[in-house]
């Protein structure tokens, strides 16, 4: 995996535990930057401290349908704020399945404010 994923941006939901954490660690060790989507703020912060700027935290509870509906635009905005390249990989290990399949208007990815 090393080389192919170097410099790529991945998104992992459930990034702070179990399979999500294993996926997060694999991406980070391969040179990817990872948007860490998880509801556990302390765990996400710990991963960020361990891996630095390669780990991009996004605390979000994907069992909440309202939060879930904002996943894609928030991920892209967070990556943009961290000067990460466009997101190339999504790995959903938690939350509602519909999180990644809801239609998202392009204008919501990079809102004018913030």
**Residue 109 falls inside a structural domain:** no
What's the number of domains the chain is made of?
Answer: 1
* Tens digit of each residue's pLDDT (9 = 90 or more) over 48-84: 999 999 999 999 988 887 888 788 888 888 877 777 7
**Residue 64 falls inside a structural domain:** yes
pTM across the whole model: 0.76
**Residue 36 falls inside a structural domain:** yes
**Residue 90 falls inside a structural domain:** yes
Q: Which residues contact 78 (CB under 8 A, 6 or more apart)?
A: 35, 56, 58
Structural domain for 67, as ranges: 9-103
Three-state secondary-structure class, residue 33: strand
* Tens digit of each residue's pLDDT (9 = 90 or more) over 32-42: 999 999 999 99
Strand 33-38 with 9-13, pairing: parallel
Q: Which residues contact 113 (CB under 8 A, 6 or more apart)?
A: none
Assign residue 34 the CATH number of its domain: 3.40.50.720
87, 75 contact by CB (below 8 A): yes
């Amino acid at each position: 995996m090393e080389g192919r994923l170097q410099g790529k941006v991945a998104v992992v939901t459930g990034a702070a535990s179990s399979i999500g954490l294993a996926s997060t660690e694999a991406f980070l060790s391969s040179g990817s930057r990872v948007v860490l989507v998880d509801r556990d703020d302390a765990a996400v912060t710990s991963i960020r401290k361990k891996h630095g700027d390669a780990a991009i935290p996004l605390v979000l509870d994907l069992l909440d349908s309202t939060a879930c509906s904002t996943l894609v635009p928030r991920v892209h905005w967070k990556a943009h704020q961290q000067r990460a390249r466009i997101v190339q990989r999504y790995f959903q290990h938690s939350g509602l399945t519909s999180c990644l399949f809801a239609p998202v208007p392009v204008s919501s990815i990079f809102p004018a404010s913030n």
